[in-house]
């Protein structure tokens, strides 16, 4: 196939059929024809079957009222009678994003902590991390999710016998309730102060970096940033006279009212996903740190850097280059695995849109296509972001 | 007069604090104060976890009896698992016919052992048996023909169904994945585009949506009168899904083969399929075996997802048991049992993959 035979004059015995280029063109045309024939055949069958079963096609169903209740609704108003299937889609998307984002954050923390513990010189700490990784990685995620949901969270005490932490935090089989912050007028400024603090810290870090390049003096960027990000909103809040109050959850009737409640479905999915993905990330982190040659540690040591700084400034930046690509695929796995929500009744896009909406409308092709398009585009955006980050930290070679 | 010592001074024993148990302890558990604190915390956590786990699953557990009332201890009620063991293993496969499944297991185990271990010099015969003859035997044995009683696939279940799903999927996915990987590296743009499109599409969506698609849309795509049963639909979904992942694994192996190999094959006058089949693929597959085993572990764990589209695999049979009104409130036992079963299989496979990696790793090691 890589042989370029066309440059030579064709011998008397060689027919045009033996020319690799001709054969390639012929073969490709054949593939296209077969592919189109397959698509046409399948499409034709689908059209006939749909007509026979009396299933409408097109995306008209999105504006029809959904007519079913949804367990967990965030950010949007949902009313089973009025809201349409497109609202269902939106809620599914929001719920998936909510659990995937928090899962990614938690799994990354867990993974890095256990990955470093797995490399610890301390024998027992090392072995505990190993046991966690080896147990969790070898058990299907679905089993773990069902375990957390049915064997842990469902057998918590009933609402009346909630585990009570100082009347602020309640744990029962309907979830975890804790006080919420209720904004009053002027709360906007506190939020603004928070974002201003973050912006200020970015500039501060840049300035400190420049100053260190110029004079060699270091500036305690981390502590100052922490002070600014936490301090600024507090100061703003005091100046404006605390434009918010806490709303405590309280037992009213059969359930807790007020405050924030984390439902057991969400908790089970979040715990399961983060523990499962965390184990994989731990192995990735371990492999990444191991990939940095031992000479780097020794060189840092001979320069007199303490072990913490060696880790932060010498080992981790090099390890990250190895860690980032597999880490990206773990993030993508976590996103895709969040679709297992459907097994424990968390209202993500697969459960309510590819599940309930599909069953109600019967429009399998459209519903599955939308669901797949959602996951595909989210996967692509995560990998684009991680590729950008990877390029930023990649080794710059001449 | 010079004081010169003529004989060697006897060697002193190494300091007690540096060798033996104490030295090991000092080095590995109490090297500095942070490590010491960690050690104590870790020992406490490990002790708590181990003691409660052992007392739950062994000391206080119940092993004898036939009903839930026999579970009087505070620990696990393994009677529940024991009572439903046949169903957990074979689903609703008729009890009198279960010997057929067992024969299939034995033949499969023998074939696998001969192919995977080093006992046989030439692996040609066992490989032909395992990949050509064995599937036919299994098909005849399990579904029933030639005088054997027919057992519908809807009666298959439990661990048996899980193993069938995993092995058939890998059996289809591996060749399909090789073809896709070759297509992805092809120099024909049309072939490459179709393969890349398929691989990236499948890898970008969750298995669950592929299974939904297979179970809901496959019947729509078939002409009138063609009917697939549930198991075949799930198998199609699982196989296509794992083929895409397998393709990427094989592509990794293909990329690791230096270009000179292909050029050498070409210069010997071998055509594309000859050089692929005789030169490139044997090398590429050999180095990707550990990764293939890892993909297979993932596939094996993913078989649990078929419970969502209504097949009675190990997980869903055991889960169904928890809603049996005679055995309510035993969710923990049920899921711990399933988890342990899967763990044994997956951990075994991962050890095998590590062993293989070491065997194939003939380069320098530090």
Provide ipTM, 2 decimals. 0.87
Second-level CATH architecture of B155-359: Orthogonal Bundle (1.10)
Angle subtended at Cα A339 by Cα A146 and Cα B195, rounded to the nearest 5 degrees: 130
Q: Is pLDDT of A11 > 70?
A: no
Domain boundaries, given as residue ranges, for chain B: 85-151, 155-359
Q: Is pLDDT of B1 > 90?
A: no
Q: Is pLDDT of B78 > 80?
A: yes
A148 plus A271 within the same structural domain: yes
Cβ pair A250, A180 in contact under 8 A: no
A265 plus A351 within the same structural domain: yes
A39 plus A138 within the same structural domain: no
pLDDT range class, residue A1, cuts 50, 70, 90:
very low
Taking the Cβ of residue A46 and every Cβ of chain B, the question of whether any pair is shorter than 8 Å is answered with yes
What's residue B366's pLDDT?
47
* Nearest-by-Cβ selection for A147 from B207, B217, B339: B339
H-only helix segments in chain B: 20-28, 33-54, 78-83, 85-90, 98-116, 124-128, 134-143, 158-184, 189-204, 207-212, 218-221, 230-256, 259-267, 272-275, 281-302, 314-322, 331-360
Q: Look at A125 and B45 and tell me if their CB atoms are within 8 Å.
A: no
Please report the beta strands in chain A, taking only residues with DSSP state E, as ranges in sequence order: 163-165, 169-172, 175-178, 180-183, 244-247, 250-252, 255-257, 260-262
Domain finish residue from A38, A53, A68: A53
Q: Name every chain A residue with its beta carbon within 8 A of the beta carbon of B263.
A: 2
Q: What is the per-residue pLDDT across A89-143, written as a single tens digit (0 to 9) for each?
A: 888 899 999 999 999 999 999 999 999 888 888 888 889 999 999 999 999 999 9
Q: A8 vs chain B: nearest CA distance in angstroms?
A: 16
Angle subtended at Cα B330 by Cα B328 and Cα B336, rounded to the nearest 5 degrees: 155
Please indicate whether residue B172 or residue A61 has the higher confidence score (pLDDT): B172
CATH number at residue A147: 1.10.3720.10
Q: How far apart are CA A132 and CA B121, in angstroms?
A: 39
SS (H, E, C) A71-111: CCCCCCCCCCCCCEHHHHHHHHHHHHHHHHHHHHHHHHHHH
SS (H, E, C) A163-222: EEECCCEEEECCEEEECEEEECCCHHHHHHHHHHHHHHHHHHHHHHHHHHHHHCCCCCHH
Question: Residue A308: inside a domain, yes or no?
Answer: yes
What's residue A311's pLDDT?
85
* Least confident interval from A71-75, A94-98, B142-146, B181-185: A71-75
A127 plus A37 within the same structural domain: no
User: Which residues have C-beta within 8 Å of that of residue A267, sequence separation ≥ 6?
Assistant: A148, A153, A175, A176
Mean pLDDT computed over every residue of chain A: 84
A286 plus A387 within the same structural domain: yes
Structurally, chain A folds into a number of domains equal to 2
Residue of chain A with shortest Cα separation from B34: A122
Question: Residue A241: inside a domain, yes or no?
Answer: no
Residues of chain B with pLDDT > 70, as a percent, come to 98
What's residue A397's pLDDT?
61
Angle between helices B158-184 and B281-302 (to 10 degrees): 140
A125 plus A44 within the same structural domain: no
Question: Residue A217: inside a domain, yes or no?
Answer: no
Can you give the residue range of the structural domain that contains A33?
26-53
Residue of chain A with shortest Cα separation from B216: A364
Written as six digits, the tokens of A371 are: 């669901």
Q: Report the pLDDT averaged over residues B342-356.
A: 90
Q: Is pLDDT of A349 > 50?
A: yes
Q: Look at B204 and A380 and tell me if their CB atoms are within 8 Å.
A: yes
Residue with tokens 């990000």: A229
Q: Report the pLDDT averaged over residues A146-167.
A: 82
Residues of chain B with pLDDT > 90, as a percent, come to 21
Q: Whose CA is closest to B302, among B246, B218, B229? A: B246
* Least confident interval from A126-130, A318-322, B190-194: A318-322
């Amino acid at each position: 196939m890589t042989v370029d035979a066309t440059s030579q004059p064709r011998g008397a015995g060689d027919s045009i059929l033996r020319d690799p280029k001709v054969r390639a063109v012929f073969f490709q045309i054949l593939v296209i024809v077969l592919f189109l024939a397959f698509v046409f055949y399948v499409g034709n069958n689908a059209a006939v079957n749909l007509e026979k079963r009396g299933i409408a096609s097109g995306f008209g169903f999105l504006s029809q009222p959904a007519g079913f209740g949804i367990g967990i609704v965030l950010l949007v108003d949902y009313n089973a009678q009025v809201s349409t299937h497109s609202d269902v889609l939106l809620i599914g998307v929001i719920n998936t994003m909510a659990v995937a984002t928090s899962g990614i954050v938690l799994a990354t923390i867990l993974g890095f902590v256990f990955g470093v513990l797995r490399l610890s010189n301390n024998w027992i700490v090392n072995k505990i991390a190993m046991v966690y990784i080896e147990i969790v990685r070898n058990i299907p995620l679905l089993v773990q999710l069902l375990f957390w949901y049915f064997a842990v969270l469902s057998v918590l005490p009933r609402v009346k016998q909630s585990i009570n932490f100082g009347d602020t935090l309640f744990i029962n089989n309907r979830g975890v309730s804790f006080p919420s912050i209720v904004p009053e007028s002027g709360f906007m400024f506190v939020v603004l102060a928070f974002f201003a603090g973050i912006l200020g810290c970015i500039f501060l870090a840049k300035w400190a970096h420049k100053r260190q390049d110029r004079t060699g003096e270091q500036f305690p960027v981390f502590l100052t940033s922490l002070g600014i990000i936490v301090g600024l909103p507090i100061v703003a809040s005091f100046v404006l006279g605390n434009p918010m109050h806490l709303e405590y959850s309280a037992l009213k009737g059969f359930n807790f009212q007020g405050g924030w409640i984390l439902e057991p479905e969400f908790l089970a999915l979040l715990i399961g996903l983060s523990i499962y993905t965390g184990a994989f990330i731990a192995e990735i982190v371990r492999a990444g740190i191991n990939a940095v040659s031992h000479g780097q540690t020794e060189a840092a040591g001979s320069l007199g850097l303490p072990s913490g700084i060696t880790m932060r400034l010498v080992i981790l930046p090099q390890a990250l280059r190895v860690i980032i690509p597999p880490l990206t695929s773990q993030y993508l796995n976590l996103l895709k695995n969040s679709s297992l929500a459907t097994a424990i009744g968390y209202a993500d896009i697969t459960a309510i849109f590819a599940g309930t909406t599909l069953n109600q409308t019967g429009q399998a092709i459209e519903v599955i296509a939308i669901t797949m398009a959602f996951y595909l585009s989210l996967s692509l955006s995560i990998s684009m972001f991680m590729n950008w980050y990877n390029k930023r930290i990649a080794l710059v070679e001449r | 007069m010079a004081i010169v010592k003529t004989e060697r001074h006897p060697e002193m024993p190494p300091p007690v604090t540096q060798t033996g148990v104490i030295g090991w302890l000092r080095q590995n558990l109490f090297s500095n104060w942070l490590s010491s604190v960690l050690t104590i915390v870790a020992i406490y956590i490990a002790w708590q976890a181990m003691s409660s786990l052992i007392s739950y699953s062994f000391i206080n557990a119940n092993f004898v009896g036939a009903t839930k009332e026999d579970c009087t201890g505070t620990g696990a009620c393994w009677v529940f698992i024991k009572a439903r063991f046949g169903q957990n293993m074979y689903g609703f496969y008729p009890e009198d016919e279960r010997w057929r499944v067992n024969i299939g297991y034995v033949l499969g185990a023998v074939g696998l052992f001969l192919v995977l271990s080093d006992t046989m010099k030439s692996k040609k015969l066992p490989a032909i048996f395992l990949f050509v003859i064995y599937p036919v035997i299994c098909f005849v044995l399990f579904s029933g023909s030639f005088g054997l009683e027919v057992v519908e696939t809807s009666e298959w279940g439990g661990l048996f169904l899980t193993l069938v799903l995993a092995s058939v999927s890998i059996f289809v996915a591996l060749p399909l994945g090789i073809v896709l990987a070759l297509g992805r590296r092809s120099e024909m743009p049309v072939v490459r585009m179709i393969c890349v499109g398929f691989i990236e599409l499948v890898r970008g969506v969750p298995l669950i949506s592929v299974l939904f698609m297979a179970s809901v849309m496959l019947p729509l795509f078939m002409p009138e009168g063609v009917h697939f049963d549930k198991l075949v639909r799930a198998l199609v979904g699982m196989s296509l899904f794992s083929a895409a992942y397998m393709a990427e694994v094989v592509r990794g192996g293909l990329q690791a083969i230096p270009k000179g190999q292909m050029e050498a094959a070409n210069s010997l006058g071998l055509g594309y399929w000859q050089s692929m089949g005789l030169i490139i693929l044997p090398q590429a597959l050999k180095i990707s075996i550990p990764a293939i085993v890892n993909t297979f572990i993932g596939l094996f764990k993913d078989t649990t997802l078929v419970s969502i589209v209504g097949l009675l695999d190990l997980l869903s049979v055991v889960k169904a048991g928890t809603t049996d009104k005679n055995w309510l409130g035993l969710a923990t036992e049920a899921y711990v049992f399933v988890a342990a079963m899967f763990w044994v299989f997956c951990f075994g496979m991962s050890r095998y993959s590590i062993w293989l990696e070491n065997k194939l790793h003939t380069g320098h090691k530090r």
